[in-house]
Structure 1
Amino acid sequence: MELERLVDRLLAKDPAQRPDIADEVYDLIEEINDRYFGDSPPPVRGAMLRTCGSTREGRTFPGD
């Protein structure tokens, strides 16, 4: 239910109802994670790009 409310905020038509910055979204997801899963932290920011992508000229491209 909490995750559903977060998604609703992310998709809100009124920008004032959306989270201001990505860090706020991360913090909200982390709080939800802690409530349901305890000590298991969510993935580190950008970890998916670093582990699933390849690097060209210092940039990471997912899925390559």
Structure 2
Amino acid sequence: MTTPERYRLTLTVAGRPVQHGWWASEAVARSKFASWVGEWGRPGARITLTDEVTGETLTTWPNAE
């Protein structure tokens, strides 16, 4: 069973939330993540994909490392 709105994308610019999106499918959310990086990935932006059920951050742009 999928959980509606399980996977959340957050776009912040200069530390302020600008856009959010939620998807039930991790595959769809990861595809949207790649799309957001292409559209919004510039200095000062941060994009985070989070599993809302587990609380785990699945990926970020730019990489946290």
Tell me, yes or no, whether TM beats 0.5: no
Question: When you count strand as a share of all residues, which structure comes out higher?
Answer: 2
TM-score normalised by length of structure 2: 0.31
Q: Which one scores higher on RCO, CA 8 angstroms, separation ≥ 6?
A: 2
Question: When you count helix as a share of all residues, which structure comes out higher?
Answer: 1
TM-score normalised by length of structure 1: 0.31
Larger Rg over CA atoms: 1
